[in-house]
Amino acid sequence: MPKHAHHDKFKIVELKLVSGGYAVLMLLGLSWAVWAVFAAPDLEDIAGGWLGQDATVSSVPLIGLLPWFALILCLAVYAIWQGVSRWQVWVHRHIRPWVLAMVLFNAVWVLCLQRGLIGLSLLAGAALLAVLIRIVVALDRSTLEHQIDRWITRACFGLFAGWLSVIIVAESLAFAAMHHGNPHSLMFKGSSALAIILLALFLCAVSFKNPMGIYLNAGALWVLVWIILDRYSGHATSPIFATVCLVAAVMMLICLISALRTRIRRILSSH
């Protein structure tokens, strides 16, 4: 057998081993985060209740948080899938360090929340969001040849980044109320509404810029819808804040539908 054939065979084995080890590290990190969530007390009992459903106008109800479990499951599926059938694809090898950093920051974020360390959890959550955005940018600039690759990879990281963006805004506002503000004051509610509007405008713009923007928009829209419903009908009602957020959600939905229609047309025209 030629010398270069031995080298190629060794390279393939090396890539498979690295991909397998990477998948195992991902699964361990994701499992750690899930354990921390199940071991944590209720949100109303963490950090004096500032992360509870009715602590501030921007607080996220439980149903808005539930996608985290689905996203973690999707990432676990991605870890196995890329290790088994996509170990040779360049883009997955390229984002590998960032994905491992994402898994680490996700676990640290949840662990800090479990212990009521809102400040540290906010830093870890911001770092997690920054890493997810870096992955989103890398995927946007990369060519994904297979349709299933586009859906699985883009959906996993895009939806997670969009969902997390609203969660981090809500957690930041809770942290601000905890240390420097009155959550029931008109100024605080106005500032919270402004933060939501600015995020919504950004996501509306991103929806048309690239395919990843569709997932970012959809992930954020889920959380925003449940915040709106809770502010209209929950214990800590705030109809004015809910109406402002409703306007933001309608804008996001219009942009999402429009971007989806444009994307579907491009896909159909390419075949």
Distance of CA 157 to the CA centre of its chain: 7
pLDDT at 13 (0 to 100): 55
Q: Is 97 helix (H, G, I), strand (E, B) or coil?
A: helix
Q: What is the mean pLDDT of each run of 10 residues along the chain (271 residues)?
A: 50 61 84 86 70 81 91 88 67 83 93 88 95 89 65 86 95 86 83 94 87 90 94 80 94 92 76 58
Identity of the residue numbered 162: G
pLDDT at 237 (0 to 100): 76
Instruction: Pick the closest to residue 33 from 160, 158, 134 (CA basis).
Output: 160
- CA 252, CA 221: separation in Å to the nearest integer? 7
- CA 139, CA 202: separation in Å to the nearest integer? 19
Q: Over the stretch 224-240, which tens digit does the pLDDT of each residue have?
A: 999 999 988 876 678 89
pLDDT at 123 (0 to 100): 95
Domain boundaries, the chain: 3-269
Instruction: Pick the closest to residue 226 from 163, 184, 175, 182 (CA basis).
Output: 163
Whether 126 and 168 have beta carbons less than 8 Å apart is answered as yes
Q: Over the stretch 186-196, which tens digit does the pLDDT of each residue have?
A: 888 899 999 99
